[in-house]
Amino acid sequence: MDNQITLVQKTVVISATGREEREETLAIEIPYKVALNDRDIGTSMVLATGLEEFGVGFLFSQGYITRPGQVREVLVCPEGRISVHADVEEDIEPKEVIITSGCGGTGKISKEMLEGAFDPLNECGISLDEVNQFIREMLQQSSLGPKTHCVHGCGLWADGRLQGFYEDVGRHNAVDKIIGGILLGKIPARGAVYTTGRLTSDMVLKCARIGIPIVMSRTSASSLGLAIARRAGVTLVAYARPGRLNIFNRPERIIC
Amino acid sequence: MDNQITLVQKTVVISATGREEREETLAIEIPYKVALNDRDIGTSMVLATGLEEFGVGFLFSQGYITRPGQVREVLVCPEGRISVHADVEEDIEPKEVIITSGCGGTGKISKEMLEGAFDPLNECGISLDEVNQFIREMLQQSSLGPKTHCVHGCGLWADGRLQGFYEDVGRHNAVDKIIGGILLGKIPARGAVYTTGRLTSDMVLKCARIGIPIVMSRTSASSLGLAIARRAGVTLVAYARPGRLNIFNRPERIIC
């Protein structure tokens, strides 16, 4: 699919050198409705890339889809609809929901998910060299980031290479696209995730629920992001740069 | 109120100089439920400052409260509940909602709000000198920002001075706190708003709905943020730094 994802606009720059016209590239933010088995679940603002993955990851984050193998078909209609057909209990209704702090669209997590127990993670260790290579590749992936300053990136590294990379106007959406990729069998559910966004509660929660043992961010974590990492046993790395990691939980999975 | 808003945690830093223990300050992200006339509307992850303002601004962003003068009482219970009593139609129910890309908790806007007409803004012009002073003061306000890298700030400038400043784990929540301050009569509904967050659709929408004519960001705008600014007639400034503004719409309100 070839969706338009950026737009060039004329702007006026006022600075010490005076006033000049200039062109800026903007990320296109567009609403897409996600439906599950022909029932509308929600409409989210997204960057129109990886829409199949987004639809499935969104339904996972909202608690409708819970594991790989449930999704039968995903249809993307460019008019703004992602239609997912999946073998799930028909009357799943998210319990008491919490609106998240997240850039990125998922917007809600259930109280049950936030406070519930976690299944064991898909255990692994990664060498520091590999982690550094992962971060370096992540920083080179995005052409939209430096151009628009309006997207977040998320990638997954496993088996010695970058397995998937997605961008979105929302940091949550970018993670949802990775998770959708996992649920669709395009990306393995192991290894490490790197996001350019902050690790607030729901960011860590969705990675833990899908079984990813290492979650890294270019920037910070919140108190609740760390609390969830501790409960789930996730290795939480903040301010991750090539050559420098700040590990908030379970450092033993990064092998020096 | 003296809520705890940061937490110090031990971390392990791995870098070229080896492995060292270190302490990092985390922003505390905590769920608060917002109720309107004893009816639960939603629970949002917030930084526990300006909670009265947040509750009221949240209800505005979600379409329940629409103008100043409606709020009669706000009670904040530190166990996690903001109870707003207001003179609103009892059976208001947001129409078709869109989940936003926003860091910040409000999470939803109605399709009607996104596509509807706007009332005239509270017209004003601001000199470039004043704008520069505003940005400089904004950049000095935050102590949490440099410490946690996990909060967004939002301020309002009018009548030659900074009238209000709030921070939150979500960029939307910080704007909601400013808007709540306006609805509670603590901050005037005029002048310019500056946010450290991106100007996506809902960020611009809520400022336009409350009548603010100038909206500025330290960082970028999205395509839909600009589209709404154009429809509402808002002056949209991105990448705003002292001495340099990049104006995407209606530059004439910044007087050089």
Across the range B86-115, mean pLDDT stands at 67
Looking at beta carbons, which residues of chain B come within 8 Å of A46?
101
Give me the pLDDT at residue A231, please: 96
What are the tens digits of pLDDT across the range A207-239? 999 999 999 999 999 999 999 999 999 999 999
User: A243 to chain B: nearest residue by CA?
Assistant: B15
Taking an 8 Å cut-off on Cβ atoms, the answer to whether B244 and A15 are in contact is yes
Give me the pLDDT at residue A89, please: 82
Q: A256 falls in which pLDDT band (50, 70, 90)?
A: confident
User: B251 to chain A: nearest residue by CA?
Assistant: A12
Looking at beta carbons, which residues of chain A come within 8 Å of B171?
103
Across the range B53-72, mean pLDDT stands at 95
Taking an 8 Å cut-off on Cβ atoms, the answer to whether A201 and B248 are in contact is no
Q: How far is A26 from chain B (nearest CA, A)?
A: 5
List Cβ<8 Å contacts ≥24 apart for B77-81: B78/B1, B78/B3, B80/B30, B80/B31, B80/B32, B80/B33, B80/B43, B81/B32, B81/B33, B81/B34, B81/B35
Taking an 8 Å cut-off on Cβ atoms, the answer to whether B105 and A103 are in contact is no
Across the range A29-48, mean pLDDT stands at 93
Give dist(CA B212, CA A82) in Å, integer. 35
Give me the pLDDT at residue A195, please: 97
Give me the pLDDT at residue A104, please: 35
Chain pair A-B, CB pairs under 8 angstroms: 218
Average pLDDT in chain A: 92
Listed range (A155-169, A188-202, B106-120) with the worst mean pLDDT: B106-120
Q: Which has the closest alpha carbon to A119: A231, A254, A251, A236?
A: A231
Residue pair A99/B45 in contact (Cβ under 8 Å)? The answer is: yes
Among B223, B228, B250, B254, the residue to mutate for chain A (most A Cβ within 10 A): B223
Give me the pLDDT at residue B64, please: 93
Give me the pLDDT at residue A99, please: 66
Across the range A148-175, mean pLDDT stands at 96
Give me the pLDDT at residue B116, please: 84
Residue A91: partners with Cβ closer than 8 Å, 6 or more residues away: none
Looking at beta carbons, which residues of chain A come within 8 Å of B239?
149
Listed range (A145-149, A214-218, B102-106, B229-233) with the worst mean pLDDT: B102-106
Q: Which has the closest alpha carbon to B254: A13, A85, A137, A148?
A: A13
Looking at beta carbons, which residues of chain A come within 8 Å of B111?
43
Residue B8: partners with Cβ closer than 8 Å, 6 or more residues away: B23, B24, B25, B26
Q: What DSSP line would sit under chain A, residue for residue?
A: -----EEEEEEEEEETTEEEEEEEEEEPPEEEEEEETTEEEEEEEE-SSSHHHHHHHHHHHTTS--STT-EEEEEEETTTEEEEEE---TT----SEEE---TTS--EEEHHHHHS--PPP----EEHHHHHHHHHHHHHH-SHHHHHS--EEEEEEETTEEEEEEEESSHHHHHHHHHHHHHTTSS-S-SEEEESS-B-HHHHHHHHHHT--EEEESS-B-HHHHHHHHHHT-EEEEEEETTEEEEEE-GGGEE-
Give me the pLDDT at residue B114, please: 80
Across the range B224-250, mean pLDDT stands at 96
Give me the pLDDT at residue B31, please: 92
Taking an 8 Å cut-off on Cβ atoms, the answer to whether A24 and B168 are in contact is no
Taking an 8 Å cut-off on Cβ atoms, the answer to whether B103 and A103 are in contact is yes
**Beta-sheet strands, E only, within chain B:** 6-15, 18-27, 30-36, 39-46, 71-77, 81-86, 97-99, 108-110, 126-127, 152-158, 161-168, 192-195, 214-217, 235-241, 244-249, 254-255
Give me the pLDDT at residue B92, please: 66
* Cα A67 from chain centre: 17
Residue pair A138/A193 in contact (Cβ under 8 Å)? The answer is: no
pTM over 0.95: no
Q: How far is A67 from chain B (nearest CA, A)?
A: 23
Q: How far is B68 from chain A (nearest CA, A)?
A: 25
Bridge pairing between strands B81-86 and B97-99: unpaired
Taking an 8 Å cut-off on Cβ atoms, the answer to whether A29 and B219 are in contact is no
Q: What ipTM did this prediction achieve?
A: 0.90
Is the confidence at residue B18, as pLDDT, over 60? yes
Across the range A111-137, mean pLDDT stands at 92
Give me the pLDDT at residue A103, please: 40
Give dist(CA B120, CA B232) in Å, integer. 8
Give dist(CA A209, CA A60) in Å, integer. 9
Give me the pLDDT at residue A38, please: 95
What are the tens digits of pLDDT across the range B125-171? 999 999 999 999 999 998 899 999 999 999 999 999 999 999 999 99
Q: How far is B83 from chain A (nearest CA, A)?
A: 16
Across the range A36-59, mean pLDDT stands at 95
Residue B232: DSSP 8-state: H
Q: How far is A127 from chain B (nearest CA, A)?
A: 12
Q: A116 falls in which pLDDT band (50, 70, 90)?
A: confident
Give me the pLDDT at residue A80, please: 93
Q: How far is B166 from chain A (nearest CA, A)?
A: 15
Give dist(CA A156, CA A175) in Å, integer. 9
Taking an 8 Å cut-off on Cβ atoms, the answer to whether B98 and A44 are in contact is yes
Across the range A82-102, mean pLDDT stands at 75
Q: B95 falls in which pLDDT band (50, 70, 90)?
A: low
* Pairwise pLDDT comparison (A96 vs B188), residue with the higher score: B188
Q: Which of B12, B101, B238 sits opposite A170 (nearest CB)?
A: B101
Is the confidence at residue A121, as pLDDT, over 60? yes
Across the range B210-232, mean pLDDT stands at 97
Taking an 8 Å cut-off on Cβ atoms, the answer to whether B107 and A99 are in contact is yes
Give me the pLDDT at residue A105, please: 36
Taking an 8 Å cut-off on Cβ atoms, the answer to whether A26 and B200 are in contact is no
Average pLDDT in chain B: 92
Give me the pLDDT at residue B157, please: 98
CB half-sphere exposure, B71, CA atoms < 13 A = 30
Give me the pLDDT at residue B87, please: 97
